[in-house]
Amino acid sequence: MTKPKVAFFDFASCEGDQLQIANLEEKLLELLEHVEVVSFREVMKEHSDDYDIAFIEGSCTREADEARLKKIRSNAKIVVAIGACATIAGINALKNTRPLDQVRKEVYGDNAKWYETYAARPIDAVITVDFKLHGCPIRGDEFLALCKALLTGQKFVVPDYPVCAECKLAENVCVFEKGMTCVGPVTRAGCGACCVTQGAVCWGCRGLVDDPNKNAHKEVLDKYGLKAEEVMNKFNLYFAYQGGPK
Amino acid sequence: MNAKILTKENLLSFVQNLIKTGEVVGVTKKDGKFAFDHLKRASDLVLDYDVTLLPPKKYVMPQRETLIKFNVKPEVKVEAVVEATPFTLIGVHPYDLKAINQLDRLFEENHVDTNYMKRREQATIIAVTPTRASKWSFWSSMNSIFVETGFDLLLTDIGGRYAVEIGTAHGDELLKKHAKFEEAAPADIEKLESIRSALPKMCSADRKINALTHEMTAILEIHRKSELWEKRAEKCYSCGSCNLICPTCYCFDVKEEIDLNLKDGSRYRVWDGCLLEDFAKIGSGENFREKRADRFRHRFFRKWSYLAAKLTEPACVGCGRCSSVCLPDIADPVKVINELKEEK
Amino acid sequence: MESLYRPELATITKAAPMTATEKYFEIKLNSGRELGHKPGQFVEVSVFGVGEAPISVSSSPTKKGAFDLVIRKVGNVTGKIHNMTAGSTIGIRGPFGTHFPFDETKGKDILFVAGGIGLVPARSFINYVLDNRKDYNRVTVLFGCRNPNERLFTDELSLWAKRDDVEFLETVDKPLDTNWKGNCGVITTLFPKIKIEPANTFCVIVGPPIMYRFVIKEALDKHIPRHHIYVSLERRMKCGVGKCGHCQINGVYCCQEGPVFKYSDITHLEEAL
């Protein structure tokens, strides 16, 4: 059996998800027993357009990205969006909540007119995506689980329940009890509630669950003293593309 | 009543001796609250806690437990796995022990679950009488103040010293082997009895279900169609927190993992929760409990009706954990049952 | 070590596609033992490295040496098994659950009503009855599916149609562009075409969840007593041994007290139908 050929691509992002993969080190070598990497800017110089599986990191933020995405789609049998920027437009979508001209000026100053930009979108807004690997950044072990599913001809399944479930399993003290707030109750699990476990809060990087109870959470955030604007900010950090509270 | 007496010092050295001879888990401090954890030294043990974040169930029914191991290449082989090694569990409150006693029955009935039973056999349980109740607890309402069985030893703080009641021959042996103790004097027994008689009042007055346990089942049955289920479930996250912290929840999912060599793998079970959206969903996509309200109600009926019929008592021990973790504050059995009772 | 969860190894001895989504498998346990199931029971099928799925046994216990499964491709386990061929190894646990009333119905009339892949479990009982034909009185089989391409066991269907000791009627919801010449319409449209003696008739209904309410109504309208109506219900039977909780219908474990239920036993369970 020939090894499936794998390629990595990046759009508007920090390339942190590919870094997570590069950081797998010896596990990555084990994976290379089963796949051939033909393009991976972070670890190799070579590039080829002959690949079966394309991993795409980053958001689509300008018209020029669309043609490149469509070319990847036509080359690949399987397209996987990796990381929040690719799956839910990530923090790139923060700019979508403000006038684009203003955003462009803030970033590029006098040179703004030279830089093309439009509202940030996840990859599946442009091309069909077969699987999504959520998170900011993605988890190395989840990447491996996805690879194993693909290699054994299975569908890769991501949890469709809130982070709270995994936070309970991690035996964390709820951040709301510690005088903080988070969006874990509406955020898709799969991260093992790693941020709360480390003493932080859930920011929502894996995006909303399929049927989030946003109204209930708005009420809870209100009960815990957040102002309407603060609630909006909480929701917009990662959910700006998927939609904030109604 | 018969009891032995351990001074605080002797209790510490007893625990330290147990640590020297085997795996010991006990209640420790965690982030301002309490959690059962591997005990490195006796001095880490906290016995005057209110409630732990997760119940000690996690040691008799681990969050993740391997059931089989297999090879798919070069030929298919499969073997059963039962993970069970001896351990001592110190600091279990009576309500949590009552929950373990219920699990014992449920895993044994009809088809004996070897994985659970073998592990359970390996557990030495040293229970402790609560010295305080969490603000959410309502174990008085659920008849979970006292347990007669399930413990090897039961400790009660009688003011600077511990009374030890012996539950099993194994507990007796352990005490004789590893502890320096005295026989209880009549005054000690008197103290122990007065502490026990004060226990029913330990849960705060507003944490009372206004019905006897068998009446609770009837109240639920009468109000199966109440609007309360729908109304409360409107605020439900379907996060399963109320399931996952529950000492009597034992539903599990079964998952599979294959190694990166794509040859060896294992099948394991993990805790699951009936509040989670996909709990009753089948392969074809049909979801037999699709509505939040149906899932929300199911949890109550499972505990107060379906399992109650098997156990002859509700499968709720009043620990109050579900009430405390539910951010929208809809899951509290005290409020739900009292509200239903007030309904026409 | 005795374990509830260790499957025994089994070999696929025959594999043949039936429709676009259903595939037939004949299975032999490697130990050589008979499965020993009763009509209507199910097994948990393992594809190692993927997982387990509950599947109804489709053959009658009168078939010896091997048993039949018909598997619809819906998820990872069923998808993977569809790629398997004769000689492949799988795992089997079971048989589990309750069975159709093959004893109680002796000397009585039986009306089978099977919709779509409901024929798969029903076939285990139909063939049992046909293999012990003299033990039963009148046998009627109603089969309906969405279109002619979804018909299962087509060879057996024509055999049943030819037998004069079986009344066999079938229909399709839509003929599509096939040369289907038979009945068209949902399965309940077959009811006016049959005559039964209600007090002496047992009715066995298996089909997709949506079908039950309508077919049960027809059976009741024909005055078949509630305790003579049997259904087989599908749920998420993950463990098969009444522990995992996924298949509960109100307080009833579908894997223990089902999948075959007497209708009169479940009328009070609002989650059942």
- What CATH number should be reported for the domain holding residue C155? 3.40.50.80
The answer to the question of residue B93 being in a domain is: yes
Residue B16 lies in a domain: yes
Nearest CA in chain A to C48: A152
Q: Are residues C92 and C114 located together in one domain of the fold?
A: no
Does B278 contact A165 at a Cβ distance shorter than 8 Å?
no
Which residues are paired to C52 by β-bridges? C46
Query: The sheet that has A78-82: what strands, in order across it?
Result: A36-39, A5-10, A53-57, A78-82, A131-133
Query: Does residue C254 lie in a domain region?
Result: no
Grouping H, G, I as helix, E, B as strand and the rest as coil, residue A212 is coil
Chain C (70-89) residues lying within 8 Å, Cβ to Cβ, of chain B: 72, 74-75, 77-78, 89
Please report whether residue B166 resides in a domain. Answer: yes
With contact defined as beta carbons under 8 Å apart, do B291 and B236 qualify? no
Instruction: Give the residue ranges of chain C where pLDDT is below 70.
Output: 1
Residues 6+ apart with CB under 8 A from C128: C39, C60, C61, C62, C102
Is residue C260 one of the residues assigned to a domain? no
Is there a domain that residue C88 lies in?
yes
What is chain B's percent helix, strand, coil content, to nearest 5?
35, 20, 40
Domain that holds residue B107: 4-201
Last residue of a domain, one of C39, C69, C96: C96
Residues of C in contact with B68 (CB under 8 A): 3, 5-7
Summarised one tens digit per residue, pLDDT across range C248-264 is: 999 999 999 999 999 99
Query: B323 and B212 in contact (C-beta within 8 Å)?
Result: no
Q: Are C273 and C213 in contact (CB under 8 A)?
A: yes
Which amino acid would we find at residue A197?
Answer: T
The string of DSSP letters for C35-53 reads ----TT-EEEEEETTTEEE
Contacts of B281 in chain C (CB under 8 A): 236
CB C166 within 8 A of CB C153: no
Q: Which residues on C lie below 8 Å from B289 (Cβ)?
A: 271
3-state helix, strand, coil in chain C (%, to 5): 25, 30, 45
Concatenated DSSP letters of B138-161: -TTTTT-S--SSS-SEEEEE-SSE
pLDDT (tens digit per residue) in B173-226:
999 999 999 999 999 999 999 999 999 999 999 999 999 999 999 999 999 999
Q: B54 with B125, same domain?
A: yes
Do C191 and C221 lie in a common domain? yes
B238 CB near a chain A CB, below 8 Å? yes
Which residues of chain B make contact with A168, given a CB cutoff of 8 A? 54, 240-241, 244-245, 325
- Phi, psi dihedrals of residue C169, rounded to the nearest 5°: -130, 135
**A136 Rama sector, left if φ>0, alpha if ψ -120 to 50, beta otherwise:** beta
Spell out which residues of chain C touch residue B302, defining contact as CB-CB under 8 Å. Answer: 245, 248, 251
Judged against a pLDDT cut of 90, whether residue A245 lies above it is answered with: no
Identify the domain boundary among C74, C96, C118.
Answer: C96
Evaluate if residue A246 carries a pLDDT over 50: no
pTM, rounded to two decimals: 0.96
Q: Is the pLDDT of residue A42 over 90?
A: no
Q: What percent of chain A has pLDDT over 70?
A: 98
Q: How far is A76 from chain C (nearest CA, A)?
A: 22
On whether residue C255 sits in a domain, the answer given is no
Q: Is residue C117 part of a domain?
A: yes
Mean pLDDT, chain A, integer: 94
Residue with tokens 């480390």: A198
Mention every residue, 6+ apart, whose C-beta is less than 8 A from residue A150.
A4, A53, A78, A131, A156
Among the candidates B147, B173, B201, a domain finishes at B201
3 state SS of B23: strand
Secondary structure of C184-251 as H, E, C letters = ECCHHHHHHHCCCCHHHEEEEEECCHHHHHHHHHHHHHCCCCHHHEEEECCCCCCCCCCCCCCCEECC
| Residue B167 domain flag | yes
CA A223 to chain centre: 30
Name residue B114's amino acid: T
Residues C149 and C209 in one domain: yes
The reply to whether C87 and C113 lie within a common domain is: no
Task: Report yes or no on B189 lying in a domain.
Answer: yes
pLDDT at position C177 is 85
Note whether B238 contacts A161, CB cutoff 8 Å. Answer: yes
Q: Does B328 contact A172 at a Cβ distance shorter than 8 Å?
A: no
| Other beta carbons within 10 Å of A129 | 20
A:C CB pairs within 8 Å? 14
Is B254 close to C248, i.e. CB distance below 8 A? no
Which helix (H) or strand (E) segment holds residue B324: the answer is helix B321-325
**Contacts (Cβ under 8 Å, ≥6 apart) of B209:** B138, B141, B142, B216, B333, B334, B337, B338
- For an interface test with A, which of C76, C80, C83 has the most A Cβ atoms less than 10 Å from its Cβ? C76
Which residue, B201, B229, B253, sits at the end of a domain?
Answer: B201
Question: Sign of torsion, CA C249 C253 C259 C261?
Answer: negative
User: Do C119 and C143 have their domain in common?
Assistant: yes
Select from B154, B172, B201 the last residue of a domain.
B201
Closest to A10 measured CA to CA, from A18, A1, A22, A2: A18
Q: Which of B223, B191, B219, B215 is nearest to B143 (CA)?
A: B215
- What does the pLDDT look like over C197-212, one tens digit per residue? 999 999 999 999 999 9
Contact B283 C78 (CB under 8 A): yes
- The pLDDT assigned to A190 comes to 97
Domain for residue C23, yes or no? yes
Same domain, B219 and B193: no
Residue B207 lies in a domain: no
Q: How far is CA B318 from CA A241, B180, B299, B315, C57, in A?
A: 42, 35, 14, 9, 43
Q: Are residues B60 and B142 in the same domain?
A: yes
Two tokens, residue C257: 């007290």
Q: Which residues of chain B have pLDDT under 50?
A: none
Pairing mode of beta strands B87-92, B23-30: parallel
CATH number at residue C73: 2.40.30.10
Q: Which residues pair with B69 in a beta bridge?
A: B79, B266
DSSP label of C81: H
Cα-Cα-Cα-Cα torsion A58, A64, A68, A74, nearest 10 degrees, comes to 120
> What's the one-letter identity of residue A205?
C
Residues B129 and B23 placed together within one structural domain of the fold: yes
Is residue B192 a contact partner of residue B156, using CB atoms and an 8 Å limit? yes
**Is residue B8 domain-shared with residue B130, that is, in the same domain?**
yes
C89 shares its domain with C142: no
Distance (Å) from the C-alpha of residue C9 to the closest C-alpha of chain A?
Answer: 20
CB hemisphere CA count around A41 (13 angstroms): 12
Q: Which residues in A lie closer than 8 A to residue C80 (C-beta atoms)? A: 152-154
Residue A63: the pLDDT is: 93
Q: Structurally, how many domains does chain C consist of?
A: 2
pLDDT at C1: 54
Cα nearest neighbour of A183 on chain B: B237
- Tens of pLDDT, residue by residue over A162-206, are 999 999 999 999 999 999 999 999 999 999 999 999 999 999 999
Q: Give the ranges where B63-168 is alpha helix by DSSP (H).
A: 94-108, 114-121
Question: Is C64 part of a structural domain of the chain?
Answer: yes
Collapsing DSSP states into helix, strand and coil, what is residue B173?
Answer: helix
Same domain, C79 and C129: no
Q: Which amino acid appears at position A186 of this protein?
A: V
Task: Yes or no: say if B271 and B63 are a contact pair by the CB < 8 Å rule.
Answer: yes
Helix (H) or strand (E) holding B165: strand B161-166
Clarify whether residues C26 and C70 are in a common domain: yes
Q: How far is CA B232 from CA A245, B238, B303, C46, in A?
A: 20, 12, 18, 40
Residue C117 sits in which domain range? 109-232
Residue B191 and residue B227 in one domain: no
* Same structural domain, B235 and B182: no
Position A244 pLDDT exceeds 80: no
Domain boundary among C62, C96, C130: C96
Whether the CB-CB separation of B254 and B269 falls below 8 Å is answered with yes
pLDDT tens digits, one per residue of A53-70: 999 999 999 999 999 999
Do B119 and B221 sit in the same domain of this protein? no
Same domain, C172 and C57: no
What sections of chain A are H helices per DSSP? 16-22, 26-31, 63-75, 84-88, 100-108, 140-151, 163-169, 194-197, 214-223, 228-239
The answer to the question of residue C12 being in a domain is yes
B221 and B99 fall within a common domain: no
Q: Are B191 and B323 members of one domain? A: no
In chain A, the domains with their CATH numbers are 5-151 (3.40.50.700), 163-239 (no CATH)
Number of domains chain B is built from = 2
Of A144, A162, A173, the CB nearest to B237: A162
Query: Before B186, cis peptide (omega within 30)?
Result: no
Q: Are residues C54 and C165 in the same domain?
A: no
First to last CA, chain C: 39
Nearest Cβ partner for A171 among B35, B239, B278 = B35
Buried b (16+ CB within 10 A) or exposed e, B23-54: ebbbbbebeebbbbbebeebeebbbebbbbbb
Asked if B203 contacts B141 with a C-beta cutoff of 8 angstroms, the reply is: yes
Neighbours of B209 (CB within 10 A): 23
Q: Are residues B151 and B23 in the same domain?
A: yes
Amino acid identity, position A218: K
B54 & B83 share domain: yes
Per-residue confidence (pLDDT) for residue A2, from 0 to 100? 86
Are C154 and C226 members of one domain? yes
Has residue B327 been placed in a domain? yes
Residues constituting chain C: 273
Would residue A45 be called left, alpha or beta, if left means φ above 0 and alpha means ψ between -120 and 50 degrees? alpha
- Residue C177 sits in the same domain as residue C114: yes
